[in-house]
């Protein structure tokens, strides 16, 4: 446990000191707020007007964008987590450390996840107070959205780290994890054109079911925990397997 906490602390400090991380956070939060106020969510069956057009005291638009927000931001935050270690050869030094490899995997995961959740809080909480000052806001929905979003962020982070461990190029890691996460997010858009059984599988695989239909509405379902937990477990396990494979190359 001490090893994991040490890795977590080191990774967080490195990320917080990075100017690139700061710029990325500002751009991500600024883009999300612009979508909330001016654009709305014009995708698929769930079409919502922007805040200034709808004039409704709700964070529905923000939560509608959150899965795609994580699908793009998580790969950007994790693409260099292992790719840099592998390209520079520093991963060989990690193998020689008395700290178990799983502690490095878990520490890097917790650091990236904490940062992703922190960015979400920076975007959601101030906005919630602004909206609440204009009209009656459902705070249960806000809390549910934050908790559900934290689970979705964990799953996105685990997949991003797995992609980073499989390659030495940061851009390739970003593209692979973004492709997987955006692919999962977009499955709900094709449900109507798929046959019954396949449509059900595609819908269940989409974060839309496990976030927009539950946490984003202030509702909690055990199936959502199972879905997100399986993605996190699979991502971290594959991450560990990929690194263990490199130990014996």
Distance CA 29, CA 120 (A): 8
Residue 109's pLDDT is 92
Residue 220's pLDDT is 79
Distance CA 244, CA 82 (A): 13
Residue 196's pLDDT is 65
For the segment 145-196, what is each residue's pLDDT rounded down to a tens digit? 888 889 899 999 999 998 888 877 888 888 889 998 888 888 777 766 667 6
Give Cα separations from 241 to 157, 170, 234, 244, 246 (angstroms). 17, 19, 10, 5, 9
Assigned token pair, 33: 């707020």
Residue 191's pLDDT is 67
Residue 246's pLDDT is 67
Domain spans, the chain: 2-247
For the segment 109-121, what is each residue's pLDDT rounded down to a tens digit? 999 999 988 888 8
- pTM over 0.85? The answer is yes
Distance CA 246, CA 51 (A): 50
Distance CA 214, CA 205 (A): 14
Please identify every stretch of the chain with a pLDDT value under 70, giving residue numbers as ranges.
Answer: 1, 88-89, 91-92, 94-95, 191-194, 196-197, 199, 246-249
Residue 110's pLDDT is 92
């Amino acid at each position: 446990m001490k090893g994991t906490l040490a890795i977590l602390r080191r990774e967080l400090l490195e990320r917080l000191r990075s100017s690139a991380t700061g710029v990325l956070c500002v751009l991500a939060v600024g883009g999300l707020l612009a979508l909330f106020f001016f654009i709305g969510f014009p995708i698929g069956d769930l079409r919502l007007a922007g805040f200034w057009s709808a004039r409704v005291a709700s964070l529905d638009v923000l939560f509608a964008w959150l899965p795609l927000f994580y699908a793009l931001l998580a790969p950007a935050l994790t693409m260099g987590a292992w790719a840099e270690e592998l390209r520079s050869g520093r991963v060989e030094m990690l193998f020689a450390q008395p700290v178990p490899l799983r502690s490095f995997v878990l520490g890097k995961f917790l650091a990236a996840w904490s940062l992703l959740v922190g960015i979400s809080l920076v975007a959601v909480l101030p906005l919630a107070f602004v909206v609440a000052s204009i009209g009656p806001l459902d705070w249960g929905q806000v809390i549910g959205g934050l908790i559900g979003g934290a689970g979705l962020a964990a799953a996105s982070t685990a997949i991003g780290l797995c992609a980073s461990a499989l390659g030495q190029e940061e851009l390739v890691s970003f593209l692979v994890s973004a492709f997987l996460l955006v692919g999962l997010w977009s499955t709900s858009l094709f449900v109507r054109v798929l046959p019954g059984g396949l449509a059900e599988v595609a819908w269940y695989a989409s974060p839309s079911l496990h976030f927009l239909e539950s946490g984003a509405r202030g509702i909690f379902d055990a199936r959502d925990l199972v879905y997100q937990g399986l993605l996190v477990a699979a991502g971290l396990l594959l991450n560990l397997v990929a690194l263990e494979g490199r130990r014996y190359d």
